Structure 1
Amino acid sequence: MRKHEASLGSIYTGNYVPSPTQLELLGVGQNEYMVPIKHAKAPDWLDGSAGINRDHRFNFISAQNDLEAIRAYLDRFSDKPHTLRSYTKELERFLYWCVLEANKPLSSVLVTDCEAYKAFLKRPSARFVGDRAPRSSTRWRPFSKEPLSPASQLHAIVVIRSAFAYLVAVRYLAGNPWLAVKDPVVVKKVHEMQIDKALSRDLWDEVIDRLTERCELPENSQDRIALAMMLLLGDSGLRREEAAGAMRNALKPNKWAYDAGQLTVIGKRNAERIVPVSPRTLDALRAHWIDRGLDFDTVDQPVPLLAPLIIPQHQGAIERHATPNVVGYTGDSLYRLFQATLKRLKFDPDAIEGFTSEQFNELESASPHALRHTWGTLAVEDGMPLDVAQAIMGHQSPSTTAIYVQAKTKRILEEGAKYFAKRGEKKDGHKPSSRCPSTR
């Protein structure tokens, strides 16, 4: 927009900064903004170089201050983007609380400070809270306006405690004050997974049908990417990070189905597993590869199955995709692709007729992970043995996969209740009583 300011008119950019490289100061006192930890620099008296909890022996990571120590810890997760993102967020928040609220370096916090931060997580101060904003914006804040759930508070404390344990082990810190802090009380859910967000069979089929129709138009290359992505998630049960990291040389012909495939993926805990790939997924991938100028059937190299055709014009994306077809999507970019695709479908005048109002509501809360739950739910409904579904989904415990059986049971009982209600209305001409029948 700034590039075309001459024709668009004056563009207000007061809430933004041109580049993250300019964010080198951590706002203390006079400054009202905060910056992501990657670009932060604390004042000397708060940087932790003289923290009271510093181990005075030679530390194994050679960190001179708290920022360097935290970055050294986070570097351990560079090959796990989801974990890195989560841990960065929690350590970023705690470091800024130490500097801005407690007015002391992270390497000087005591047990009482840790207890104070535990209370702070329940209700962060106003300057820490804001609307969602890019990390390169001066509007960015460590916390969103939605309060943290007890489970999220517990996660924050576990992450920080683990980081302190590491810093003690490498002799940056002398002790871990978090060991004396009790975890928040969290009511444990019977089932952690939100499988109720799985798409119904009719909606899943409708989404794929509408998207397939859009793919027939030559100009709709983004829809062809989206169709291949959705089928990898919904026909093979992949997580979005697994789909983003899937490579062509890991996809082989299925020995027991000539028109299908088998894909080797690396999932959670670096566990390798093989998932089936449907014929329609292979067809969608072929169409996407034609848009990329590649022959899907002749390549057997570590080339990403999914890769963007349109590169965002910011420096990070340009550098990442300097050589076409070498680097694929990230998990986050697949999420954005998913959301953009649903938006196109919901506002497509040709596709809108295929969705009911209930299905539109279903799509409002849909996410890429919902397609993994969709696969699990439909596979169990169709009679797939639980041990097979467990192996395909990469669950450690059979009890996790068994949740999809309970989802099937829940649906049976719900539909049965609807049937009984309709029968009652037809017979009596009014709605039946909601009272529980006598057990005598």
Structure 2
Amino acid sequence: MSRDAAPARPPSQDAPPFPHADAELAGLAKAWFEHLAGERRVAALTLEAYSRDLRQFLAFAAVHFGAPVSAATLCGLSSGDLRAFLASRRETGVGSRSLLRQLAGLRSFTRYLERNGKPQSAAFAAVRAPKAARRLPKPLTAASARAVASVEARAGDDRPAWVLARDAAVLGLLYGAGLRISEALAIRRSEAPVGERDALRVVGKGRKTREVPVIAPVRRGVEAYLALCPYPLPPERHLFVGARGGPLSPRVIQLAVERLRGALGLPDSATPHALRHSFATHLLGRGGDLRTIQELLGHASLSTTQIYTAVDSSRLIEAYRAAHPRGR
């Protein structure tokens, strides 16, 4: 397999049966995953997490109730049953964010059961979701972000030149335009920001559309990739392709950044998404307006964007303590 190959099939296609559910519920669970993967087009990693979460809950419930779990068992759950499950997960060291995701997945499954004729359990509405501490993003320095998004930082990499140019162009869009990796990989050839085209129309989370400017260095990076790409790219095709000419997998870009972490001496927090954080933090540090940054990032709420004020303030405090004569 090529080093640039896409990840394996979604877990829903080859997952084992649900051993702690009865035959009816196991069939409904399988149908739910097929619905998520097909109609909802849920990401493979999310499917994997939901599959693991549901199995963990069913394993707990089978012991808790002393019998294989049925749809009737789920419908009859009490808030105490659900709190007992959350407490058992806490005892294994699971954090609030994982519990929030697990509750969201279980709610989604019970809603699916309701749409298929099963009564909805009132327990999920009665149990308060655990509060998760808001993690501050970890931006790269401006110099590190520029290096990650440049071809020059890849000197000595034995992959084809067009692949190195492609990776740099994708990461350039993340840092230079604040795109999510999924947004960058969804760009069609006809939408490529090249030449005089200095803006992109992006469809982000919740199908919300926004327009973002694309600065000249980023456009030049895309043009360099297009000049080297060995595959024909008609207007309707994805702009960025994998080693065999198919759509590029996000995992390929994640691996490219992992390689650069070692070469550039960057921390584990240096990821593709950290470039989007760096875009926002560096704009704010240069006097960017929060409302403008909100629009550029495609955040539905200004409160989401405001986490960057905390990041910027902490950096200012660190600089003050390091530089002021009385700061030590």
- TM class by shorter chain equals 0.7 to 0.9
1:90 matches 2:65: no
TM-score (norm. length: structure 2): 0.79
Whether 1:183 and 2:159 are equivalent positions in the alignment is no
2:63, 2:255 → 1: CA distance? 33
- Map of 1:323-338 to 2, 5 A cutoff? 324=245, 327-338=246-257
The 1-side partners of 2:68 and 2:126 are apart by: 19
SS in 1 for 2:211: strand
What's the secondary structure of 1:199's corresponding residue? Answer: coil
Q: Which amino acid aligns with 2:69?
A: P
Q: Is the 8 A contact 1:264 1:272 kept in 2?
A: yes
SS at match of 1:395: coil
Q: 1:342 corresponds to which residue?
A: 261
Q: Which has the higher contact order (CA 8 A, sep 6+)?
A: 2
Structure 2 residue aligned with 1:121, among 89, 93, 96? 89
Q: Report how far residue 263 of structure 1 moved.
A: 1.4
Q: Using the alignment, how far apart are the partners of 2:61 and 2:38 within structure 1?
A: 23
Residues 7-406 of structure 1 correspond to what in structure 2 (within 5 A)? Answer: 38-42=14-18, 46-49=21-24, 65-71=27-33, 73-75=35-37, 78-81=40-43, 83-98=46-61, 103-109=67-73, 110-111=77-78, 113-123=81-91, 147-171=93-117, 173-176=118-121, 178-179=123-124, 182-186=127-131, 188-189=132-133, 192-195=134-137, 197-208=138-149, 211=152, 214=155, 219-252=160-193, 261-293=198-230, 301-309=235-243, 311=244, 324=245, 327-343=246-262, 345-346=263-264, 360=265, 362-406=266-310
Distance in 1 of aligned mates of 2:202 and 2:61: 41
**Aligned positions, number:** 315
Q: Which segments of structure 1 move beyond 6 Å, counting only runs of 4 or more?
A: 215-218
- Post-superposition CA distance 1:115-155 (Å, at most 9, x none): 4432332245xxxxxxxxxxxxxxxxxxxxxx320232133
Equivalent-residue separation in structure 2 for 1:177 and 1:201 (angstroms): 50
Give me the whole-angstrom Cα distance separating, in 1, the residues matched to 2:274 and 2:175.
8
Q: 1:106 to 1:181 in 2, by over 3 A?
A: farther
CA distance in 2, matches of 1:294, 1:69: 38
Structure 1 residues 163 and 408, CA gap change in structure 2 (3 angstroms):
same
CA distance in 2, matches of 1:340, 1:294: 25
Structure 2 CA distance for aligned equivalents of residues 268 and 408 of structure 1: 25
Alpha-carbon shift at residue 69 of structure 1 (Å)? 4.1
With 206-215 and 231-240 compared, the bigger mean Cα shift is at 206-215
SS in 1 for 2:155: helix
Go from structure 1 to structure 2 and tell me whether the alpha carbon gap of 1:170 and 1:85 turns closer, same or farther (over 3 Å shift): same
Shift of 1:228: 1.0
RMSD of aligned C-alpha atoms?
3.5
Query: CA–CA distance in 1 between the matches of 2:205 and 2:111?
Result: 23
The structure-2 alpha-carbon separation of the partners of 1:74 and 1:88, relative to structure 1 and needing over 3 Å to count, comes to farther
Residues 197-238 of structure 1 show CA distances to partners (whole Å, capped at 9, x for unaligned) of 101123223444573563999944432222112101110101
Higher-helix-fraction structure: 2
Listed one character per residue, the Cα deviations across residues 414-436 of structure 1 (whole Å, up to 9, x for unaligned) are 2122111xx35xxxxxxx7x7xx
Query: Could you state the TM-score of these two structures normalised by the residue count of structure 1?
Result: 0.61
